[in-house]
Amino acid sequence: MRNSIPVIVITGYLGSGKTTLLNRILTHKHGNKIAVIVNEFGDVGIDSQLVVGADEEILEMNNGCICCTVRGDLIRIFGNLIARREKFDYLVIETTGLADPGPVIQSFFVDEVMRSQTKLDAVVTVVDTKHIWNHWDSSEAQEQIAFADVILINKIDLVPPEQLEELEKRIRTMNAFAKLYRTQNCELSIDLILGVQAFDLKNALSIDSELLNENTHEHDDTVSSISIVENGTVNSNKFTTWLNQIIQVQGHNIFRMKGILNVDDEERRFVYQGVHMLIDGRPGRPWKPDEIRKNEIVFIGRDLDKITLEKGFQNCLE
């Protein structure tokens, strides 16, 4: 195992802060070269565009969950990475917010190449202190916490101290062994999550004795992803009005929103992200001179109307 590639799996429910944590790892001066695999539930890759660091190998898998329909892609992509083994020291996998970590862990032990070439260092789960209560009963959220070696109780600035205490107690009833850290914007010392050698297969098997057996994994069919891709210029006033209307009417059903937009033909792309009723927007990377300015939006939630969302966004274009 001396030359095995250490692997960090970052998991957590939709909007918990996984990409924020990934960017902290990539921008920290730890001296390691890192390859990244980003998995998204929708068919439009937004997260990979939000990842900082041009020198890293960033590979994306879209239109499925890493733990079921595209797990074969994970194994295939890893096989391609092996050919460039000298270019990186660590592999970091950011899963979709709807991933069950169990089958992801399974991949490192049932596939011959991955078993012989990797060492699972830690499963790191990011928990959104404000919104986890809305999804506490979902199997994905529970298993993300149960399988974690390290848990970041994130967004602590959004809730009162007594709610943090209650959340920690609940987490401890599901996972008595994970290291718990309270964070805001996933700020913590990177050596608490990188190279910690925290994963223990015996622990994982105690959670799910069938972990290493091939089986199927099913998601809540009422949760879906809607992607909108349109060229053109977005009118900022119209977009803000439309977004506020969506939040007021469907905010409780929209678990996650994210988008990269050409707003008012500004030099920089506009990046917005939302979780339920909370939205954050800010300038992103500059557009390249010869780049087609494409607007890409992803909604993930329950009982979403694709036609209505598409029509509403098209009305925001100039």
Taking the C-alpha atoms of residue 109 and residue 127, their distance in angstroms, rounded to an integer, is 26
Is the same domain home to 175 and 43? yes
The per-residue pLDDT for 60 is: 46
Q: DSSP characters for 97-166?
A: TT--HHHHHHHHHHSHHHHHHEEEEEEEEEEETTTGGGGTTSHHHHHHHHT-SEEEEE-GGGS-HHHHHH
Closest CA to 127 of 18, 273, 48: 18
39, 78, 131, 145, 304 from 73: Cα distances, Å: 10, 8, 31, 25, 28
33 close to 273: Cβ distance less than 8 angstroms: no
The per-residue pLDDT for 214 is: 56
Give the model confidence (pLDDT) of 158-188 as tens digits: 999 999 999 999 999 889 889 999 999 999 9
Is the same domain home to 282 and 187? no
**Burial grade of 6 (CB within 10 A; 0-12, 13-18, 19 or more):** buried
Task: Tell me the Ramachandran region of residue 206: left when phi exceeds 0, alpha when psi lies from -120 to 50, beta otherwise.
Answer: alpha
Is the same domain home to 182 and 308? no
What CATH number does the domain containing 180 carry? 3.40.50.300
End-to-end CA distance of the chain: 57
> Two tokens at 184?
């805001």
221 close to 302: Cβ distance less than 8 angstroms: no
Is the same domain home to 200 and 290? no
Q: Tell me whether residue 202 is in a domain.
A: yes
The per-residue pLDDT for 252 is: 79
| pLDDT by position in tens, the chain (length 318) | 457 889 999 999 988 999 899 888 888 887 888 888 877 544 444 444 554 443 444 454 444 444 444 456 677 778 778 878 887 888 888 887 887 787 778 778 877 888 888 899 999 999 999 999 988 988 888 889 988 999 999 999 999 999 999 999 999 988 988 999 999 999 999 999 999 999 988 777 777 777 666 554 455 566 777 889 999 999 999 999 999 888 888 887 888 788 889 999 999 999 888 877 778 888 988 998 998 999 999 887 888 888 999 999 999 998
53, 147, 149 from 289: Cα distances, Å: 21, 45, 44
Q: Tell me whether residue 291 is in a domain.
A: yes
pTM here? 0.70
The per-residue pLDDT for 65 is: 45
> Two tokens at 52?
């900082």
Is the same domain home to 25 and 127? yes
Q: Tell me whether residue 213 is in a domain.
A: no
Give the model confidence (pLDDT) of 42-77 as tens digits: 444 444 455 444 344 445 444 444 444 445 667 777
Helix residue ranges per DSSP H, the chain: 18-27, 47-50, 71-82, 101-110, 112-117, 139-146, 161-174, 201-207, 236-250, 306-314
Q: Which domain holds residue 248?
A: 223-314
> Two tokens at 21?
């944590």
Is the same domain home to 122 and 160? yes
Taking the C-alpha atoms of residue 195 and residue 197, their distance in angstroms, rounded to an integer, is 6
Beta-carbon count within 10 A of 177 CB: 11
Q: H/E element holding 274?
A: strand 268-275
Taking the C-alpha atoms of residue 242 and residue 310, their distance in angstroms, rounded to an integer, is 11
What CATH number does the domain containing 296 carry? 3.30.1220.10
What distance lies between CA 154 and its chain's CA centroid? 14
The per-residue pLDDT for 216 is: 47
Taking the C-alpha atoms of residue 65 and residue 19, their distance in angstroms, rounded to an integer, is 16
Beta-carbon count within 10 A of 287 CB: 16
Taking the C-alpha atoms of residue 225 and residue 246, their distance in angstroms, rounded to an integer, is 16
- Side chain identity, residue 158: L
Q: Tell me whether residue 212 is in a domain.
A: no
> Two tokens at 164?
């943090």
The number of folded domains in the chain is 2
Is the same domain home to 181 and 256? no
